[in-house]
Structure 1
Amino acid sequence: MRPTQRLRAALFTAAALAAALALPAFTAPAGAAEPIRIGELNSYKAQAAFLDPYRKGMELALKEINASGGVIGRPLELVSRDDGGNPGDAVRVATELLTRDKVDLLTGTFLSHVGLAVSELAKRRKVFFLAAEPLTDKLTWSDGNRYTFRLRPSTYMQVAMLMPEAVKANRKRWAIVYPNYEYGQSAAETFKRLLKAAQPDVEFVAEQATPLGKIDAGPVAQAIADAKPDAVFNVLFAADLARFVREANTRRALEGTFVVSLLSGEPEYLDPLKEEAPTGWVVTGYPWYAITIPEHQKFLDAYRAAYDDYPRLGSIVGYATIKSLAAGIAKAGSTQTEKLVDAFEGLEVDGPLGPFVYRASDHQATLGAFVGTLAVKDGRGVMVDPVYVEGASVLPSDAEAAKLRPAAD
């Protein structure tokens, strides 16, 4: 090659390289629809056992919805942040999602006091908020507002689901153990009120309110044993539940004692106990291995294909959260807040546990839960004889709910 040819070749190569470097890393197709941005915040670090499966459930729903064309001609995009497990951080994170990330709506939260803080922010800023997991009754009743809806069955609903078995046991001396924050306090107060109404001669002989995530399980189990109750209502979950069960087993603190327990049949909290799982407890939970309806089988097959794992209750909640938002946006035909609120009032959603509705009266979903008895099978805890209780069957009437929301709007 002559010197002149070599120079021309070099100049051509340099120009081509410069042109290539000037191209963006990704060019969206002309006319591509703007995504609908869902701002989601949760206590991922603090409550990983529930929220890792929850995230997977959300991702599965997103893939299904976007693969079928999205909603109102737009794909869904999830913008997730950790809320630090406390109200102050949650409000800051939610505000950043709205102002910096420009999300169209808010969803998520796990802990009840965190959910209440974000709900208040939603009311103040007039932004739509679907609370996925917080269970406190205040969220939809005394502290409810126009802009907040809730997916999961509340503490009132789940206590009411357990109440028939508690009353049928006809035990007089009850002890209560619960985490000492909004969820535990709400559940304990509801249980005492409903049981006292059904069984006026009942006595509450011990009450252990423990710090969330920091239970001193030995003394707690011993204090309950020393009170000599013939029945116990447990509201502990996650690591606190495991520690309590192990100490109670070691000390034989609950031998011969009838126990009803919120959440203890959820795989997130039952599976780690393995053969130490308490037998005979009446619980709410999610027996994924015993649900035969077609909607759940379809979800189970898709989840296993995606993650090579079985779902937890968090998976159901995450999946149903995104499906609810998609249904609400489709009904509203918009992401505009006031239209979304109107669309969610009376919204019908098809979920893995069957159809449910968001009530207009109190913004509570009628999603239900399973009630069953704990047993040990093949070295692990399971729920036996589980029965699905429809959420609508344990909710007060619309007229009664309206009285519980004096300052909702």
Structure 2
Amino acid sequence: MELAVRDVNSSGGIAGRPLELLVRDTAADPSRASAAVDELAALGVAALAGEYHSVVARAVAARADALEVPFLCSSAVLDDLTSAPTDWVARLAPPQSRGWRLYADYLLGEGHTRIAVTTQPSVYWLTGTRILQEHFAAHGGTVIILDASDPLVLCDALASSHVTALLLLVGHPEPAVPIVKAIRGDQRLANLVLGAPAGQPEFADWAALLGESGSAIAFLRYLPEHLTPLGSRVLDRLPEASSFVAYEGYDTIAVLAEVLRTHGPDRTRIAAAWPTVAVDGTRGKIHFTRVPGINVWQWPTPPIQIADRDPASLNHFRTLHTS
């Protein structure tokens, strides 16, 4: 986002004025996020941008809607970002139902019809589990749920479950890292396929904490097969370990800058502009529309990949499937 702001300002800013980015850390805490929205709204920001954590993004979206502050959500995927339709919120990331169904199709296509998930209490993990269960059931498959609290107990349960794959619907690094270490070290589970649809293996410290054990664990990421010309230029200026979230952040600023240039800083005019957006982003042409079942303005075609870390080169990602 900071890189995108610098690019906007180096090209003249917004109507000759510099674009300013005010940053607040929500710390994955919904109440802290709501307080940040209140503070930023009182400071007179034209719009809100960002948030990676889906549960926190829902709190930001609810407060932004209540205060009538435009919010462009960069990364969070929960389908129900708001409880009712709103014109104040738009989103770049795909809804969870789209990405996780694609992930389920990938597993089914690989022959995995009986899988397990290990999960923690959270609306995000609960929603993901339900999406997987419903999609597998519709295709004659089965998803069983196993507790994530004790990696050794989990290994015993997996050894007797007759599943061919386990999905890690848990936080990182705890308990994801201890679970992966326990499974990779258990000879009974040598043929078990691991997956992490939420994207934990893309984190920069995943390989450092797990080494080779962290490879060959498929995850979702929101990149195209080829970046746009803008995306290629941004790639050359990002740190090597940057994930797809960096491109979501850059695209967020690119969209808001174009809206501000065209419609000015008035919040009502910004919110009214979502359906008119047409911006060349780092990953494709960005526009927003109403998607059935989604209460916010949604980019309907963000790219989705299923990837993993290459066992032969842990810093290299293999693309396994593309939407």
**TM-score range normalised by the length of the shorter chain:** 0.7 to 0.9
Q: How many residues align?
A: 315
Residue matched to 1:129: 71
Tell me which amino acid in the other structure corresponds to 2:204.
Answer: E
- Per the alignment, residue 110 of structure 1 pairs with 52
**Cα 1:179–1:69, aligned 2, differ >3 Å: closer, same or farther?**
farther
Q: Which residue of 2 aligns with 1:77?
A: 20
Cα gap change, 1:219/1:356 in structure 2, threshold over 3 Å: closer, same or farther?
Answer: farther
1-structure distance, mates of 2:15, 2:290: 23
Asked if residue 162 in structure 1 is aligned to residue 97 in structure 2, the reply is no
Segments of structure 2 that go 5 or more residues without pairing to the other structure are none
Please, which of 159, 165, 189 is the counterpart of residue 231 of structure 1? 165
Offset of residue 109 of structure 1: 2.2
Supply the distance in 1 between the matched residues of 2:20 and 2:245 (Cα, whole angstroms). Answer: 20
Distance in structure 1 (CA, Å) of the matches to 2:201 and 2:27: 26
CA distance 1:221–1:131, change in 2 (3 Å):
farther
Q: TM-score, normalised by structure 2?
A: 0.86
In structure 2, what is the Cα distance between the partners aligned to 1:372 and 1:86?
29
Match of 2:32 among 89, 92, 106: 89
SS for the counterpart of 1:326 is: helix
Q: Indicate whether 1:205 and 2:163 are aligned.
A: no
CA deviation after TM superposition for structure 1 residue 303, in Å? 2.3
| 1:82 alignment partner, SS class | coil
d(CA) in 1 for partners of 2:90, 2:320: 28
Structure 1 residue 253: Cα displacement: 5.9
Code of the residue aligned with 1:358 in structure 2: it is: F
Aligned match of 1:353 = 283
SS at match of 1:77: coil
Equivalent residue of 1:78, what SS? coil
Q: Distance in 2 between matches of 1:287 and 1:246?
A: 28
2:92 is matched with which residue? 151
Gaps of 5+ in 1: 1-57, 390-409
Indicate which of 179, 191, 197 corresponds to 1:256: 191
User: C-alpha distance in 1, partners of 2:192/2:31?
Assistant: 40
The answer to whether structure 1 residue 282 and structure 2 residue 218 are counterparts is yes
Matches within 5 A, 1:353-392: 353-361=283-291, 362-365=296-299, 366-378=301-313, 380=314, 382-389=316-323
**What's the counterpart of residue 98 of structure 1?**
41
Q: Distance in 1 between matches of 2:116 and 2:181?
A: 18
* 2:118 maps to 1:187: no
Query: In 2, distance between residues paired with 1:358 and 1:90?
Result: 25
Q: What letter is aligned with 1:364?
A: Q
* Residue 291 of structure 1, CA deviation: 4.8
- Which of the residues 118, 124, 138 maps onto 1:177? 118
Deviation at 1:370, TM superposition (A): 1.7
The alignment status of 1:318 with 2:268, answered yes or no, reads: no
Structure with higher Rg: it is 1
1:10 paired residue number: none
Task: Decide whether the 8 Å contact of 2:231 with 2:247 is kept in 1.
Answer: no
Using the alignment, how far apart are the partners of 2:135 and 2:286 within structure 1? 25
Tell me the distance in 1 between the aligned counterparts of 2:84 and 2:311. 40
Post-superposition offset of 1:220: 3.4
Report the alpha carbon displacement of residue 157 of structure 1 after superposing the two structures with TM.
Answer: 2.1
Label 1:206 to 1:120 Cα distance change in 2 as closer, same or farther (>3 A): closer
Helix, strand or coil for the counterpart of 2:93? coil
Equivalent position to 1:266, from 188, 192, 202: 202
Residue type of the partner of 1:154? P
Moved over 6 A (4+): none
Contact 1:287 1:382 in 2 (8 A): no
Instruction: Give the CA deviation at 1:258.
Output: 3.6
Question: Residues of 2 paired with 1:299 and 1:186: CA distance?
Answer: 33
Deviation per CA, 1:124-176: give whole Å up to 9, x if none: 11111112222211116x54422111222232121122233222133332211
How big is the shift at 1:348? Answer: 2.2
CA contact (8 A) 1:346 1:360 kept: no
In the TM superposition, residue 105 of structure 1 has moved relative to its aligned partner by 1.7
User: What percentage of aligned pairs have identical amino acids?
Assistant: 22
- Taking the aligned partners of 2:200 and 2:29, their CA distance within structure 1 comes to 24
**3-state DSSP of counterpart to 1:284:** strand
How big is the shift at 1:248?
Answer: 1.2
Spell out the pairing of 1:241-252 with structure 2 (5 A cutoff): 241-252=176-187
Checking the alignment, whether the CA contact within 8 Å between 1:206 and 1:227 is kept in structure 2 is no
* Contact 2:115–2:163 under 8 Å retained in 1: yes
Q: Tell me, what secondary structure is at the counterpart of 1:303?
A: coil
Residues 225, 253 of structure 1: 8 Å contact kept: yes
SS where residue 23 of structure 2 aligns?
A: strand
TM-fit CA distance, 1:216:
4.3
